[in-house]
Amino acid sequence: MHMAQIIVVTSGKGGVGKTTSSAAIATGLALKGHKTVVVDFDIGLRNLDLIMGCERRVVYDFVNVINGEANLNQTLIKDKRTSNLYILPASQTRDKDALTKEGVGRVLDELRKEFEYIICDSPAGIETGAMMALYFADIAIVTTNPEVSSVRDSDRILGMLQSKSKRAEDGLEPVKEFLLLTRYSPTRVATGEMLSVADVEEILAIPLLGVIPESQAVLKASNSGIPVIVDQESDAGQAYSDSVARLLGEDVAMRFVTEEKKGFLKRIFGS
């Protein structure tokens, strides 16, 4: 029997592409044949169902399940494109204290019986929802942009994982931490506007799971409610696929980290 893995996708600051990453990674795991659920911990905001394109199907939510107003069977939304993939949406209206350790723990235990991977899409920062999402984690994917403030806030999250997670409290193996670098532009790194992959790795000192290039495809995917990993023509979609493969233990070379040398025709006609 495969032990269910709880994976939290987290970040110190907002706007780094956490929900995009949660949707892409969950979809990628499901595409590889793993039964996966992605849980939205962002009480009050509810972005995940929009990015997954199922916002009109939301009837019950995470908080309803915690409060016993609905069961998981009534609440989980089956993804319409990818088999093996389910969404547990967040509540739009409730107060942030609706998530209790006891309640969240109970729901996660129930999900563990059904799913191989439970992806927790955490809100940014260190408020209640974020602390709940990281508390139960086996694996943390720390999502960071290549800029100083984002990296510094991610460092704070690493401190939390190492001291405030259930694994830390129980004296178990620590949470496995991975770095996911999003919105990366080799061109802007070359001009010194952005930190390089090496800079970020040096500061955070955790294994690099993937580098997702700054890409129009990400915005397009969010707007159309289709996780960007489904678009395998796109650089970002391919980069997320690579990251999922690495998460599953495959050895995949890093792409999209160096500037593309423009060929003669590209230089003349632009891209």
pLDDT digits (tens, 9 = 90+) for 202-235: 999 999 999 999 999 998 988 888 999 999 999 9
Asked if residue 66 has pLDDT above 60, the reply is: yes
pLDDT band at 94 (very low <50, low <70, confident <90, very high): low
pLDDT at 265: 57
141-177 pLDDT, tens digit each: 999 999 998 999 999 999 999 999 999 999 999 999 9
For residues 128 and 103, the answer to whether their CB atoms sit within 8 Å is no
For residues 257 and 186, the answer to whether their CB atoms sit within 8 Å is yes
| Pair of tokens at residue 109 | 């235990």
Determine the residue type at 41: F
pTM: 0.92
From CA 206, how far away is CA 26, in angstroms rounded? 21
51-75 burial code (b ≥16 CB/10 A, e <16): bbbbbeebebbbbbbbeeebebeeb
The fraction of the chain above a pLDDT of 70, given in percent, is 93
From CA 188, how far away is CA 61, in angstroms rounded? 41
Backbone angles phi, psi at 114, to 5 degrees: -100, -30
Asked if residue 261 has pLDDT above 70, the reply is: no
From CA 205, how far away is CA 186, in angstroms rounded? 20
Backbone angles phi, psi at 166, to 5 degrees: -60, -40
DSSP letter string, 192-255: TSS--HHHHHHHH-S-EEEEEEP-HHHHHHHHHT--GGG-TTSHHHHHHHHHHHHHTT------
Closest CA to 130 of 93, 169, 156, 94: 156
For residues 194 and 157, the answer to whether their CB atoms sit within 8 Å is no
pLDDT at 16: 82
Determine the residue type at 87: I
